[in-house]
Amino acid sequence: MRYTVGYTADAGGRAALETAVALAQDGEDTPELDLVMVVPQQSPFAASHPGSDPAGYEHILDAQLREWAKDALAMVPESITAHVLIRAAESEAEGILAAAAETGAELIVVAPRTHLLGRSLGSVASALLHSSPVPVLLATRRHGDPDGEHQWAGAARVTAFLGTREGAEAVAATAARLAQRRHVPLRIVSLVSLAEQGSASVHDAGGPGPEDRVALVREVIEDIAGRAALACEVLVLPGQDIDDAIATVPWQRDDLALLGSSRLGGHRLFLGSTAYKVVRSAPVPVVVVPRTVPHASEGGEA
Amino acid sequence: MSTDTRISDQADKGLAKGQVGAFGLLVIGISTIAPAYTLTAALGPTAAEVGTHLPAIFLAGFVPMLLVALGYRELNNRMPDAGTTFTWATRAFGPWVGWMGGWGLIAATVIVLSNLAAVATDFFYIMLGQIFSSDALAGLKDDLWVNIPTTLAFLALAVWISYRGVQTTMVVQYVLVAFQVIVLVWFAIAGFVHLHQGTAFDPTPPVWEWFNPLGVGDVSTFTAGVSLSIFIFWGWDVTLTMNEETKDPARTPGRGSTLTVFVIIALYMLVALSVIAFAGVGTSGLGLGNPENQESIFAVLATPVMGPFAILMSIAILTSSASSLQSTMVGPARTLLSMGFFKALPAAFGRIHPRFKSPTVATFVSGVAAGAFYVVTRLLSENALWDTVTALGMMVCFYYGITALACVWWFRLEFFRSVRAVILQFLFPLIGGITLLVMFVKTALDSLNPDYGSGSNVGGVGMVFILGMAIIVIGLLLMGYQALRRPGFFRGETLPRDR
């Protein structure tokens, strides 16, 4: 399997690289990592003042990029084939997507930036989630200690977050394939917000009690799992609101979370509000799957 | 597999290739020169020196600029991997001259940064005053407690934008340039209309004598005027040194830079003639000779000439100086970066941001230096803008002179091979370089006189002399310190001399 890693020579880039390495290492096929370093395209209409020296600057930037590239390659174990791609693009996300298309990557790994203000994943991760045609793994720096002692060590279990809306089956199928490939157990989690009528309930809007709603959701999820012939654990977790429900998810250190993008995005990735909250609070890396990955039913779009 | 073979790179990835045509170069050239800004900053001080001979001096100032820029182009074509005074002069003359050349460029750009921010501040408050019809708001620009923090805020903003690697897009640049040119032409025509209708402040119909450079008077006046007017063409050379970015590297730069020169000179002539025709060079009221008016000529003349539309002039100058502020920041930052990279300065200056791929320490240091320079000159001098523009002219002469001579020296073994080489690699840069360095020395000596320029002085010594010499002396001291601490560069180990 081929991975594209959005790499920057800082803590975020290293988190992405380490996560990709951990994930690549325990897969059975021969993994290939492409580390992409994106250089902003110089507009001739911008830096043209005396001393702006575009050629000389590029020379220095090149030397620095090569140094960073060598440091990054040194972090990758021998068993993994790794390359560094240095590409110019209008934006970081654009460069990463172009490189992924160039190499035929099946997964893009980036580290989202966690801001103190606002509900943002940073411009790069957000842009990727809005436009990537392949799954995007968000390597959070939260897992483990900052000094890296409890580094995430690969997916020992796949946890798929499923809603009861259309498209859940595709996410379940992708999760199942991922788990099968690595011979690890699959777990399906569905979050139910009791305060929010109708958000998780598919059937009647007649106002069923909390237990009824959980049972209903469980029925739907088990139905999806059953149709996909998946042997998996199903957890339906109710909470006053989604945040409450997320807080009750039991994690183990080497989980890999997986969720689908929202329907709003059409063929492209887009995070719904629940998915966004999961990404923000999950202590493990999260894969966001676009709704058009292979095996997803094309008819289900529109 | 070796590490190197595992790194796939694009050659020239950062440069946008084959995109710019002659018209695009014109836009780049005008935006780099920022005529609305240079005119408001330089018209007053230049007119104070040469009176009605403003057009002659503006034309004369272009000659050394042209000679040097042609040398620039030769060096740029021959050393395509590095192109700025620091690297060129180091390769030609060795580390000491190279270091001081780089220092001169940094000093000049840092001074212009502080001046740009100050002009932006002035017109920011003038514009607010015009919007709310409030003289009190417009008057805030003269209150140091408002002026200095606002100027520093403009600088901080420019540092931040530069650090984040945000670039002005083509569309924005086209709009800003078009707006600037339209407003300047509008102003010029309005000035002539006032002359025609007899409503001008001091009707002074243009005569051919204004174009006669020999009519200026003595050499000191001429030098002072030319050194100021070099500043108004500063930046034009980029149109000549661009090549891979252009659609046809063999022809576009030549066409584009010629087009730029004609447009910019026409614009300067039009505005200079109109300003004199409207206001005259008298020393009272709106006259150009009135020291009150010389810091920022459009701040005084826009309203009498354009009436209620004067606000357009404020917007044009504000946008032109603000966008120039941000793009000029790139210059000193990259030269400092280059000096850090080649170990002529502490390695920290060579740091590049891992995400934004922009110089970090170098950008902040440039911004802080510009802020410090502004605060010091503003507190020491009542005519800070005037003095900084004069000091700037001096520093531009200094480093352009060094660069031009670097061209002559670098090509010394080959320029007698063809007539073209004799002219472009030897004769032109030699004349240009010597002229500029002589002007630098002459301006420095003249500025010793406390009456020089704005007449600001400290202890009987002219402010401009103090500024210029302080910059040179600080440079020499820093260079000495670096030579002791990091001798590698000064032994030619990190950036060896060519040939």
State the Cα–Cα distance between residues A255 and A260, nearest whole angstrom: 17
> Would an 8 Å CB–CB cutoff place B9 in contact with chain A?
yes
Summary count for chain B: helices (H), strands (E): 20, 3
> Would an 8 Å CB–CB cutoff place B167 in contact with chain A?
yes
> Would an 8 Å CB–CB cutoff place A102 in contact with chain B?
no
This complex has an ipTM of: 0.88
State the Cα–Cα distance between residues B316 and B337, nearest whole angstrom: 32
**Within this chain, do residues A6 and A122 fall inside the same structural domain, yes or no?**
yes
Q: Which of B221, B216, B261 is nearest to B238 (CA)?
A: B261
pLDDT tens, position by position, A171-219:
888 888 888 888 888 998 988 888 765 444 444 445 567 778 788 888 8
Task: State the DSSP code for A260.
Answer: E
Closest chain A C-alpha to B299 CA, distance in angstroms? 26
**Within this chain, do residues A278 and A163 fall inside the same structural domain, yes or no?**
yes
**Within this chain, do residues A99 and A182 fall inside the same structural domain, yes or no?**
no
Q: Is residue A228 part of a domain?
A: yes
Tell me if B338 and A85 make a contact (CB, 8 A cut-off): no
Which chain A residues are Cβ-neighbours of B242 within 8 angstroms?
Answer: 44, 48
Q: Is residue A202 part of a domain?
A: yes
Element (H, E) at B462: strand B461-462
* Average pLDDT, integer, range B8-12: 73
Which chain A residues are Cβ-neighbours of B10 within 8 angstroms?
Answer: 86-88
Q: Is the pLDDT of residue B80 over 80?
A: no
How much of chain B is helix, strand and coil, in % rounded to 5? 75, 0, 25
Q: Cβ(B80)–Cβ(B307) under 8 Å? A: no
The residue in chain B having the minimum alpha-carbon distance to the alpha carbon of residue A6 is: B355
**Within this chain, do residues A189 and A88 fall inside the same structural domain, yes or no?**
no
Q: Is residue A151 part of a domain?
A: no
Residues in chain B: 499
**Within this chain, do residues A102 and A196 fall inside the same structural domain, yes or no?**
no
Q: Number of residue pairs across A and B with CB atoms under 8 Å? A: 165
Name the most confidently modeled range: A215-224, B189-198, B287-296, B373-382.
B189-198
**Residue owning tokens 């060795």:** B94
Tell me if B13 and A88 make a contact (CB, 8 A cut-off): yes
Which chain B residues are Cβ-neighbours of A53 within 8 angstroms?
Answer: 82-84, 331, 334-335, 338
Strand order in the sheet with A81-89: A232-239, A186-193, A157-161, A255-260, A286-289, A136-138, A107-110, A2-6, A32-40, A81-89, B7-8
Q: Which of A180, A86, A100 is nearest to A134 (CA)?
A: A100
* Average pLDDT, integer, range B192-208: 91
Question: What is the model's pLDDT at position A270?
Answer: 58
For B107, what's the count of Cα atoms within 13 Å in the CB-facing half-sphere?
Answer: 29
Low-confidence ranges of chain A (pLDDT < 70): 27-28, 46-51, 114-120, 141-151, 166, 196-208, 227-230, 262-272, 291-302
Q: Is the pLDDT of residue B439 over 50?
A: yes
Domain B2-490 has CATH 1.20.1740.10: yes
The residue in chain A having the minimum alpha-carbon distance to the alpha carbon of residue B9 is: A86
**Within this chain, do residues A215 and A92 fall inside the same structural domain, yes or no?**
no
**Within this chain, do residues A28 and A118 fall inside the same structural domain, yes or no?**
yes
End-to-end CA distance of chain A: 30
Q: Which two tokens stand for residue A34?
A: 């492409």
State the Cα–Cα distance between residues B285 and B371, nearest whole angstrom: 33
Tell me if A70 and B335 make a contact (CB, 8 A cut-off): no
**Within this chain, do residues A88 and A163 fall inside the same structural domain, yes or no?**
no
Q: Which of A191, A33, A187 is nearest to A108 (CA)?
A: A33
State the Cα–Cα distance between residues A290 and B26, nearest whole angstrom: 46
Choose the weakest-confidence range: A165-174, B11-20, B346-355, B403-412: B11-20
Closest chain B C-alpha to A11 CA, distance in angstroms? 10
* Average pLDDT, integer, range B77-81: 73
The DSSP result for A162-231, as a single string, is --SSTTHHHHHHHHHHHHHHHT--EEEEEEEESSSTTTS--S--S---HHHHHHHHHHHHHHHHHHTT--
**Within this chain, do residues A73 and A132 fall inside the same structural domain, yes or no?**
yes
How much of chain A is helix, strand and coil, in % rounded to 5? 35, 20, 45
Tell me if B13 and A8 make a contact (CB, 8 A cut-off): no
Q: Is residue A19 part of a domain?
A: yes
> Would an 8 Å CB–CB cutoff place A111 in contact with chain B?
no
Tell me if A53 and B338 make a contact (CB, 8 A cut-off): yes
Domain span at A196: 157-296
Residues in chain A: 302
Q: Cβ(A26)–Cβ(A155) under 8 Å? A: yes
Of residues A121 and B52, more confidently modeled:
B52
3 state SS of A45: coil
Element (H, E) at B8: strand B7-8
Domain ranges of chain B: 2-490
* Average pLDDT, integer, range B52-58: 91
Which chain B residues are Cβ-neighbours of A46 within 8 angstroms?
Answer: 167-169, 173, 327, 330
In chain A, how many domains are there? Answer: 2
A-interface mutation test, from B6, B164, B400, most A Cβ less than 10 A away: B6
Extended strands (E) in chain A: 2-6, 32-40, 81-89, 107-110, 136-138, 157-161, 186-193, 232-239, 255-260, 286-289
Residues 227-246 of B with CB under 8 A from A: 234-235, 237-238, 242, 245
Q: Is the pLDDT of residue B246 over 80?
A: yes
The residue in chain B having the minimum alpha-carbon distance to the alpha carbon of residue A78 is: B1
B429-455 CB burial, b ≥16 within 10 A, e <16: bbbbbbbbbebbebbbebbebbebbbb
Tell me if A44 and B24 make a contact (CB, 8 A cut-off): yes
φ, ψ dihedrals at B5, nearest 5°: -70, -15
**Within this chain, do residues A106 and A163 fall inside the same structural domain, yes or no?**
no
Q: Which of B430, B381, B384, B386 is nearest to B404 (CA)?
A: B430
Q: Tell me the β-bridge partners of B8.
A: A85
Closest chain B C-alpha to A92 CA, distance in angstroms? 9
Q: What is the pTM of this model?
A: 0.89
φ, ψ dihedrals at A245, nearest 5°: -65, -40
**Within this chain, do residues A58 and A175 fall inside the same structural domain, yes or no?**
no
Q: Which two tokens stand for residue B251?
A: 């022809």
Question: What is the model's pLDDT at position A56?
Answer: 83
Q: Tell me the β-bridge partners of A257.
A: A159, A286
Q: Cβ(B137)–Cβ(B128) under 8 Å? A: yes
How far does Cα B487 stand from its chain's mean position?
32
State the Cα–Cα distance between residues B486 and B350, nearest whole angstrom: 14
CATH (domain of A230): 3.40.50.620
pLDDT tens, position by position, B138-153:
889 889 999 999 999 9
* Average pLDDT, integer, range B25-36: 91
* Average pLDDT, integer, range B437-448: 91
pLDDT tens, position by position, B103-135:
999 999 999 999 999 999 999 999 999 999 988
Burial (0-12, 13-18, 19+ Cβ within 10 Å), A23 = buried
Continuous H helices in B235-360: 237-241, 252-279, 297-306, 310-328, 330-341
φ, ψ dihedrals at A84, nearest 5°: -115, 130
Q: Cβ(B424)–Cβ(B418) under 8 Å? A: no
Q: Closest to B354 (Cβ–Cβ): which among A10, A57, A82?
A: A10
Q: How confident is the model at residue B433 (pLDDT cuts 50, 70, 90)?
A: very high
Which chain B residues are Cβ-neighbours of A8 within 8 angstroms?
Answer: 354-355
φ, ψ dihedrals at B208, nearest 5°: -65, -25
Element (H, E) at B138: helix B135-139
**Within this chain, do residues A19 and A99 fall inside the same structural domain, yes or no?**
yes
